[in-house]
Amino acid sequence: MNVSDSERVSSHLESDGFELTSDESSADVVIFNTCSVREKAEHKLYTRVGQLQKAYGPKKMVGVMGCVAQLEGENLFEGGRGIDFVVGTRAVGRISEAIGKALEGEKRVLDLKGREDDYDWTVSETHRHSPYVGFVPIIEGCNKFCTYCIVPFSRGREKSLPPAEIVRQVLDLRRQGVKEVHLIGQNVNSYRPLTDAGFEEFRGATPFSRLLRAAASTGIERIKFTTSFPRDFHNDIVDAINEHENLCNWVHLPVQSGSDRILRAMRRGHTVENYRKRIDLLKRSPRKIGLTTDIIVGFPGETEQDFEETVDLVRYCEYDSAYIFKYSPRPGTPAAELPDDVPADEKTRRFLELEKVQKQNQARSLERTLGSDMEVLAEKISGKDDRQLSGHTTCHKVVNFKARRSFLGEIRTVRITEIKSNTLFGESL
Ligand code: 5AD
Ligand code: SF4
């Protein structure tokens, strides 16, 4: 979501007449887009602002957008950090105005208000992380209030975009040569628009599965979606994937813990058993759906027994990939009121042990692809070897492969010939 916000803001600033540069020394204004989901991410902002201040002093104008901006607001102006403007998560549409005010000499420019709905968020090709991959936010914010999570506070309540607008964006991206769109949101399957306009003719028990079918009908080559929330992950989503080839066979379904006691304390709204049933359903799909997840270790009160249950679940689910995090208390969340009682070195031990188990899953999942032919979108020239191209499969695995540069932007059939340090290598057929 943050990468998508950066792309949108870049395009927007350019169309408002600003010249963009990635060279910070030549910039008049530096903007930080920030994350506050874990303590470490938040600290990064303060470190980087400090470095900037040291290198250039007050002559460089500094702005902060994103979750830290929303949560900290005017506190960011305190402590002589040299921050000139702060723009919240739902005010980014007015970032040019904030910069304008700061350039005119206004001090402490702060905008945390909501966003106007008629905002044009078209992203130009040059500002996408890949010219062939486009993000389309479909729902912003979160109503779930998992007890450890700051997102409902930083991004506000769930707000779904109208289906007709989403379909229009997918069609626009397709016209611009994008091959793969990612429908994104904190919980895409909680999608609940105010109107039906744009997907009346599409079947499905939930609005999200209807949106998937509507997006599939645009004929764009690939559609991926992330993140899904387990409690609202219904069969109709798998039905849609089974019936539309351009809905990709990849599902990111964060479980966070394999212990019912901890899931309850996290207020996730599902049990281990419910979750396993959803995994079973996904595994039964003929589409060979790739599965990924997020897990937190060391949540307050997590015992060795709870942790072992997480290890068991990770073995059971055989994820293709997992993001594992050590719990960090976020001020203002209910879990931050609980004692952070798993010692730091124990969190690290659990992290490493779980990582080891997951690495075995991942190795098996990669080995299964050896010798097979996979469809890969040639997204860019490989950073490690400029004779190779790099891209993703439909199940979201990274593949590097030997191929002509003229194949960039094409979906190629690649024979997998080698696995090296968790990456697939192959040759374009
Ligand atoms: N501590 C550690 N990890 C967290 N996440 C969210 N909040 C916290 C926290 N306080 C993780 C969750 C979520 C991912 C984006 O970040 O696993 O799915
Ligand atoms: Fe955070 Fe839970 Fe919402 Fe995900 S579903 S953003 S973890 S509150």
- For residues 103 and 29, what is the distance between their CA atoms, to the nearest angstrom? 9
pLDDT attached to residue 203: 83
For the stretch 155-203, pLDDT in tens is 999 999 999 999 999 999 999 999 999 999 999 999 999 988 888 899 8
pLDDT attached to residue 126: 80
Q: How far is the CA of 144 from the centre of ligand 2 (A)?
A: 6
The pLDDT-based confidence of 118 (bands split at 50, 70, 90) is: low
pLDDT attached to residue 120: 63
Ligand 1 mutation pick, 142, 144, 148, 262, max ligand atoms within 8 A of CB: 148
The pLDDT-based confidence of 117 (bands split at 50, 70, 90) is: low
pLDDT attached to residue 58: 87
For the stretch 327-383, pLDDT in tens is 999 999 999 999 999 999 999 999 999 999 999 999 999 999 999 999 999 999 999
pLDDT attached to residue 217: 97
Average pLDDT over residues 286-294: 97
* CB-based burial, 236-253: b 16+ in 10 Å, e otherwise: bbbbbbeebebbbbbbbb
Ligand 2 pocket, residue 229 CB under 6 Å = yes
Q: Are 376 and 133 in contact (CB under 8 A)?
A: no
Measured from the Cα of 294, ligand 2's closest atom is: 7
By the 10 Å C-beta count (0-12 exposed, 13-18 middle, 19+ buried), 42 is classed as buried
Ligand 2 mutation pick, 186, 255, 275, 330, max ligand atoms within 8 A of CB: 186
Measured from the Cα of 335, ligand 1's closest atom is: 10
Ligand 2 pocket, residue 187 CB under 6 Å = yes
Q: How far is the CA of 38 from the centre of ligand 1 (A)?
A: 7
- For residues 266 and 248, what is the distance between their CA atoms, to the nearest angstrom? 30
Query: Above 70 in pLDDT, residue 87?
Result: yes
Q: How far is the CA of 378 from the centre of ligand 1 (A)?
A: 31
The pLDDT-based confidence of 116 (bands split at 50, 70, 90) is: low
With helix as H, strand as E and coil as C, how does the chain read?
A: CHHHHHHHHHHHHHHCCCCCCCCHHHCCEEEEEECCCCHHHHHHHHHHHHHHHHHHHHHCEEEEEEHHHHHHHHHHHHHHCCCCEEECCCCHHHHHHHHHHHHCCCCCEEECCCCCCCCCCCCCHHHCCECCEEEEECEECCCCCCCCCCHHHHCCCCEECCHHHHHHHHHHHHHCCCCEEEEECCCHHHCCCCCCCCCCCCCCCCHHHHHHHHHHCCCCCEEEEECCCHHHCCHHHHHHHHHCCCECCEEECCCECCCHHHHHHHCCCCCHHHHHHHHHHHHHCCCCCEEEEEEEECCCCCCHHHHHHHHHHHHHHCCCEEEEEECCCCCCCHHHHCCCCCCHHHHHHHHHHHHHHHHHHHHHHHHCCCCCEEEEEEEEECCCCCCEEEEEECCCCEEEEECCHHHCCCEEEEEEEEEECCEEEEEEC
Ligand showing the shortest atom-to-Cα distance for residue 266:
2
Q: How far is the CA of 173 from the centre of ligand 2 (A)?
A: 28
At residue 11, φ and ψ (nearest 5 deg) are -60, -45
Q: What is the pTM of this model?
A: 0.95
For the stretch 122-146, pLDDT in tens is 787 788 889 999 999 999 999 999 9
What strand order describes the sheet that includes 109-111? 29-34, 61-66, 85-87, 109-111
Cβ < 6 A, ligand 1 pocket: 37-38, 148-149, 254, 256, 294, 296, 325, 327-328, 330
Ligand showing the shortest atom-to-Cα distance for residue 296:
1
The pLDDT-based confidence of 119 (bands split at 50, 70, 90) is: low
Measured from the Cα of 329, ligand 1's closest atom is: 10
According to DSSP, the residues that pair with 424 across neighbouring strands are: 399, 419
For the stretch 389-418, pLDDT in tens is 999 999 999 999 999 999 999 999 999 999
Measured from the Cα of 328, ligand 1's closest atom is: 1
Average pLDDT over residues 236-240: 97
Query: Above 90 in pLDDT, residue 36?
Result: yes
